[in-house]
Structure formats: C-alpha cells, structure tokens
Amino acid sequence: MAAMKTFPPLAALVLLSCLAACSRQARGVEPRFDPKLAAGGVDVYQAGIASWYGIDFHGKATANGEVYDMHKLTAAHQVLPFHTLVEVENLENGRRVLVRINDRGPFLKERIIDLSLQAAQRLEMAEKGTAEVNLRVLRWGGAAPSGETAPVLRQGCFVQVGAFSTRENAEDLLLTLGDIFPELTFRVEAEDGLFKVRSPDLTSAAACNDVLRRLARYQLPGFIRESGHGDE
C-alpha cells in the first residue's frame, strides 16, 4: 500500500489561505433576488448566526468592486442586493448596528451574515467570533427614492438621506456618509418623531444635485429640501 501523502504544517496553512481566498473571489457572482422579499418593512428578515472577517481580507476587493475596509460598517450577505442597509441585532446582549451590504458570503452552514470587524466590535461579538442575530432590512439597495421631487429653490438647500426611529441607526449611517463625503459633515436632527440624517446647508441647487448623484453611485436615495425647513 502506498504511503499517504502528508502536508508539512506550513504548506497546510498556505493551502487553507488559498481556499479562503478562492471562496471570497466566488462572491463576484450576483445571486438572483426576488423583489417580493422586500415586503415586510422593519420586520425580522432573517435569523441565524453572524460571523466576521478582518485582517486577512483588509484592502482586498469585495464582490461589488469596493476595497474592503474592516474599520467600516459593512457586511457580506448571500442574496441581499448591494448597498442594502441592514440592522443587525445581537440576541445575546441586545446590541444593534447598521451595516451596508457590499460583499457576498458567508458560505459556512447556518451563518447568515459576515460582518466587518468594526461592526462585530459594535455588537461585542468580535472576541467570541460568532453570535445569534436578527437581521432587519431598513433600506433596500437599488430602491427608488420615495418619489419626492426637488423643490424650486429660492435660497440654499440641503439633502436629507434617511429618517430612523432610533438615533443609533441614524448615527451609523453618518459613518457610511463620512466615507462617501469626507468634505461634508452630515448630522442627525430630531424632527416629527424621527431622527433624520441631513447634509449641511449648501449654497445652490447644483451643489445639492451633486450630493444626490454621489449618493446614487451607492444606490442611497435622498431628496432636496430648502434651507430653513426642519432646522433646529
């Protein structure tokens, strides 16, 4: 009988690294998605086990072409459209975080979402590695804006990007907007019983429309409001 071939420890580690890299590269294939699943609002979309991925993939391309940054609030999901905003609730401690889907995975049985290191730390699950979670879809990637049209401006304007029932979700969106608009300081304002995320006041409709165009690249809807409406 021929002797069984064995791998030295270093070779085995290299092999495992290659297999992990190949599984990430497989995320470039866009899964089919049934739009009817979008019904349900903030009800629980999915329940299961969350994991996270960090330094091994930091700086590498995600499935939607972005560069993975483990310090941002992003996540991988098998079927949710890219740029979907998902609230992840850690059922073990009640902590929640809002993440944007920009990658595909996880591909291990029973795991439903793969979080960035930053998101895992917010949920206090990074040290343990996994946690039981609920997922709630707060905004679907590719969804059209609410139908509100930009007003005819007689003065300055600002762009409202989101409105949330909890301030924590609004502040999580601020982190994402800070990556997209490093030169602008978005803020959260309480209005009509909601926490609304808005840009600073801008001097022209052209400037506000430029913000909308940049949001559209990430499939994030927004709409223009005149300055002086909703300010505190």
Q: Does residue 217 form part of some domain?
A: yes
Domains: count for the chain: 2
For residues 135 and 162, membership in a common domain is answered with: no
Maximum mean pLDDT: which of 41-45, 182-186, 220-224: 182-186
Q: Does residue 32 form part of some domain?
A: no
* Residue where the block lists tokens 């330094």: 55
Q: Does residue 75 form part of some domain?
A: yes
pLDDT at 153 over 90: no
pLDDT per position as a tens digit, 113-139: 999 999 999 999 999 999 999 999 988
Long-range contacts, stretch 11-18, CB < 8 angstroms, 24+ apart: 17/56
The domain that holds 188 is classified in CATH as 3.30.70.1070
For residues 162 and 134, membership in a common domain is answered with: no
Mean pLDDT of the chain: 78
Range of the domain at 72: 40-139
pTM metric for this prediction: 0.64
Reported confidence tier of residue 155, pLDDT bands at 50, 70, 90: low
Lowest mean pLDDT among 13-27, 33-47, 118-132: 13-27
d(CA 145, CA 137): 16
The domain that holds 54 is classified in CATH as 2.40.40.10
| pLDDT at 197 (0 to 100) | 94
Amino acid at 208: C
Q: Does residue 131 form part of some domain?
A: yes
Beta bridge partners of 11: none
For residues 134 and 168, membership in a common domain is answered with: no
For residues 133 and 180, membership in a common domain is answered with: no
For residues 104 and 176, membership in a common domain is answered with: no
Residue 138 CB contacts under 8 Å (≥ 6 apart), including other chains = 42, 85, 86, 87, 98, 164, 169
Amino acid at 179: D
Q: Does residue 201 form part of some domain?
A: yes
d(CA 140, CA 196): 18
Q: Does residue 7 form part of some domain?
A: no
- What is the tally of helices (H) and strands (E) in the chain? 4, 10
Q: Does residue 106 form part of some domain?
A: yes
